Amino acid sequence: MTDSPSNEVVVPDELAHNVVITNLAKVIDPLYNWTRRNSIWPMVFGLACCAIEMICTAASRFDLARFGMEVFRATPRQSDLMIVSGTVTKKMIPTIVRLYNQMPEPRYVMAMGACASGGGPFKEGYNVVDGVDKFLPVDVYVPGCPPTPQALINGLIALQEKIDQQSILTAPWYRKDDTMIDEVQIPVLGPDLVDVRQAELIRAEAAKAEAAKAETAVTEAEVEAA
Ligand code: SF4
């Protein structure tokens, strides 16, 4: 076996049926992804009506064991997949983010249903976050209100297809400069939900409002004095 001038590997005729030319990634990636895609363990975690459909999906009729996903784990430490099934309220989102931070890499997030994807029928509600993707990186969105078990299974298959595209050579969770290892900052619930990632902007806007208030007070005092 020698290199030709064009750098192509030339296989002698007598060895042509015995040699496979490949590279490590082409061998390892399918194996690595095949093991992961068929053993996704979702977290036991439900928020509202969509969770009932998720529970149905986990029942024997739909047989999630076909996909290696029947082991719903009761702890984020052993879960690969967070299925956000239901309405994400402002009260709940700090807990959801905390659970996500406790999951080990590689981890995936699925927004199940209209509420988790974008607020759904409660989008304008004072207490509702209009989409869990405002805080977490969502891998798959499953439409519906609620999505049927079949739709959820379709979403799980879409996740498997996404996993198939990943390579062990570029997976961020094995790299020293892994940017995904950073925890998502947990929002703070006060009189309203505060996204601490926006702290600078919030401070600037608050300072602007204070300045405007002070200016109005001075103007009023001047008018009174006149
Ligand atoms: S999307 Fe529909 S079924 Fe699902 S939690 Fe929202 S209101 Fe309930």
Sign of CA dihedral 89, 94, 99, 103: positive
For ligand 1, the distance from its centroid to the CA atom of residue 53, given in whole angstroms, is 10
For ligand 1, the distance from its centroid to the CA atom of residue 154, given in whole angstroms, is 18
User: Which pTM was predicted?
Assistant: 0.80
Is 115 touching ligand 1 by the criterion CB < 6 Å? yes
What residue's CA is closest to ligand 1, atom 2?
Answer: 145
Is 151 touching ligand 1 by the criterion CB < 6 Å? no
Q: Tally the residues of the chain.
A: 226
Q: How many CB atoms lie within 10 A of CB 4?
A: 8
Average pLDDT, the chain: 87
pLDDT at 178: 65
- E strand map for 145-195: 188-189, 193-194
In the predicted structure, residue 1 carries a pLDDT above the cut 70: no
For ligand 1, the distance from its centroid to the CA atom of residue 221, given in whole angstroms, is 53
Peptide bond into 104 cis (omega under 30): no
In the predicted structure, residue 21 carries a pLDDT above the cut 70: no
pLDDT at 149: 94
Which distant-in-sequence residues (6+ apart) come within 8 Å of 113 by Cβ? 50, 53, 85, 86, 120, 142, 143, 144, 145, 146, 147
Q: In angstroms, how far is CA 150 from the centroid of its own chain?
A: 21
pLDDT at 2: 47
The average pLDDT across 152-158 equals 94
Q: pLDDT class for 224, splitting at 50, 70, 90?
A: confident
Q: Which of 57, 117, 122, 145 to probe ligand 1 with, by most ligand atoms within 8 A of CB?
A: 145
Q: pLDDT class for 40, splitting at 50, 70, 90?
A: very high
